[in-house]
Amino acid sequence: MKKVVGHFIDGEIVEYNERTQDIYDPALGDVAAQVALASKETVELAIASAQKAFPEWRNTTPLKRARVMFRFKELLEENRDKICYLLGKEHGKILHDAAGELQRGIENVEYACGAPELLKGEYSKNAGPNVDSWSELQPLGVVAGITPFNFPAMVPMWMFPLAIVCGNCFILKPSERNPSTTLFLAELLYQAGLPKGVLNVVNGDKEAVDLILQDTRIKAVSFVGSTPIAEHIYAKATANGKRCQALGGAKNHAIIMPDADMDNAANQLLGAAFGSSGERCMALSVVVAVGDQAADALIEKMTLAMKDLKVGAFDNTANDFGPLITKQHQEKVLGYIDSAQDQGASIVVDGRGLQVKGYEKGYFVGATLIDNVKAEMDSYKAEIFGPVLQVMRVEKMQQAMQLINDHEYGNGTCIFTRDGEAARYFSDNIQVGMVGINVPLPVPVAYHSFGGWKRSLFGDLHAYGPDGVKFYTKLKTITQRWPTSGVREGANFAFPS
């Protein structure tokens, strides 16, 4: 009988008699474990636990909340190898990639450690005669996060550390495809001294998500995933009176200018397009080359470099990337490569049919390079989410920018150039939320905020950083006056000024 991954409620791992779903080892293509899918009763237990813990936690000083996060950071670093192993085993990403993901998550914990500074508010003495005014950032209550399979360590740490240090209690619903990493993070946080009920983890599918969206005890929902689901979650959450930030899909373009350092661009694109098998919302999936000379030079260098890429299991750090998450997703990615070919694009490097010795049943797709892609092709319109890089050819930079601005997604983009004027014009006028100049994966550091434009983000506030503090708190402004002893004032019917 396979191990069943349960939930984390009220400070301990629990497993109820519920529906289960298989968890696969994507490199082997075999069932590795099962995960319990939360019932209505389980979700309600988690919410009740969080609600019970909230009054005491909200009144815990920001300094004491921060001390829990400082210890949590230490435990994450002490358990780095185990976390990366769990990550690789269920997701498939190579250990060095898992270590990078974990480090970016730790940086968000470090930012949360600044809670006493982040939550200070503002104070104005004598805003009026003997009148003082100040602002406070108060917690919302019980809040929830719904996170994707591709970053089971980092994305949850975009959410719960900051929400918790802001005084909220958190319900986390990770991806049911690879839940073990997230569950282990919860265990470490309680080892760090977090009181029972402040963080609860429920594993589940759509049933659990719908319950989270409907329950009036949950005041806010943060989500990362595909655009259709992000749009659904935003609509349902806001219709039920919740604050919501829902981060959706992407189609990230890189413009290659004729003056670009082609060797550097090719090397940067290898990791940005094929790292983590392209299963990143910031993966660069389209190159828009300005001029045939730039396109031909880049394709020549990419073709040569791609021959040396190594694909295989997560625990061999000589590998560059691993399998896709499921058989169904593998078939979807292969279908987009087929459609590009059928619609007139040229397959320069073909990753279809890849067999990895000893892992013949694994969900592998090799690095694929496609030339002469057009805007009307299905492979261009969709977020492929696989190790596929497509090349489009235009004559002018303005045409490249128009392609990007016309696309429904606006998550990340970059330009490779030596021309400062072109770079400045690009960054000023491109309609995308995160922009890189010779930086292919412009993921903001933890003390900035992450989020795209257009149909890549639903909601007004981006994830983590300063926007994260705003999302997980509500502003209260207090105005105070103490009348002078013995002085009686008359009524004043004019608006105070």
pLDDT of residue 491: 82
pLDDT tens figures, 210-228: 999 999 999 999 999 999 9
pLDDT of amino acid 496: 77
The span from the CA of 433 to the CA of 405, in Å, is 11
d(CA 136, CA 130): 20
How far from 83 is each of 87, 156, 183, CA to CA, in Å?
A: 6, 14, 10
Whether 244 and 256 map to the same domain: the answer is no
Residues 319 and 416 in one domain: yes
What phi and psi values does residue 138 have, to the nearest 5 degrees?
Answer: -105, 150
- Report the pLDDT value the prediction gives residue 230, as an integer from 0 to 100: 97
Is there a single domain that holds both residue 238 and residue 303?
A: no
What gap in Å lies between CA 212 and CA 376, rounded to an integer? 38
Confidence of residue 188 (pLDDT cuts 50, 70, 90): very high
Q: Is the pLDDT of residue 497 over 80?
A: no
**Residue 281 among the catalytic residues:** yes
Beta bridge partners of 283: none
User: Considering only CA atoms, which of 6, 2, 71 is closest in space to residue 36?
Assistant: 6
The DSSP output letter for 53 is: H
**What are 150-161's pLDDT values in tens digits?**
999 999 999 999
> What's the CATH number where 333 sits?
3.40.309.10
Q: Are residues 173 and 277 in the same domain?
A: no
DSSP lists the bridge partners of residue 417 as: none
**What pLDDT is stored for residue 1 in this prediction?**
66
Do residues 319 and 375 both lie within one domain? yes
Instruction: Please give the order of strands across the beta sheet that includes 4-5.
Output: 4-5, 30-37, 19-25
Q: Are both 102 and 199 inside the same structural domain?
A: yes
- The whole-number pLDDT of residue 217 equals 97
Mean pLDDT, residues 388-412 taken together? 97
pLDDT tens readout for residues 62-77 = 999 999 999 999 999 9
* CA-wise closest residue to 51 among 157, 246, 196: 196
Neighbour count for residue 326 (Cβ, 10 Å): 16
Overall domain count for the chain: 2
Check residue 482 and give its pLDDT: 87
| Best CA proximity match to 397, nearest among 294, 252, 278, 274 | 294
Task: Name the pairing type of β-strands 123-128 and 131-139.
Answer: antiparallel
What's the pLDDT tens digit per position in 363-383? 999 999 999 999 999 999 999
Q: Summarize pLDDT for 239-288 with one digit per residue, the tens.
A: 999 999 999 999 999 999 999 999 999 999 999 999 999 999 999 999 99
Question: Residue 427: which domain range?
Answer: 252-437
Q: Which helix (H) or strand (E) holds 475?
A: strand 473-481
Mean pLDDT over residues 18-32, rounded? 95
Distance CA(14)–CA(97), nearest Å, equals 30
Residue 487: what pLDDT? 74
Shortest CA distance to 363 belongs to which of 320, 404, 321, 399?
Answer: 321
pLDDT category at 388 given cuts 50, 70, 90 is very high
Whether residue 129 sits in one domain with residue 257? no
290 residue type, one letter: V
Domain membership of residue 343 (yes or no) is yes
Q: What does the pLDDT look like over 430-489, one tens digit per residue?
A: 999 999 999 999 999 999 999 999 999 999 999 999 999 999 999 999 999 988 777 777
In a shared domain, residues 208 and 226: yes
Mean pLDDT within 107-114: 98
CB 30 within 8 A of CB 195: no
3-state secondary structure of 465: helix
Q: Mean pLDDT across the stretch 151-176?
A: 98
pLDDT at 490 over 90: no
Answer whether residue 484 is part of any domain. Answer: no
Phi, psi of 39 (to 5 degrees): -85, 175
Question: Coil, strand or helix: which one is 343?
Answer: coil
Active-site residue among 113, 244, 281, 414?
A: 281
Is 166 within a domain?
Answer: yes
Contact (CB, 8 A) for 5 and 183:
yes
With a cut of 70, say whether residue 125 has pLDDT above it: yes
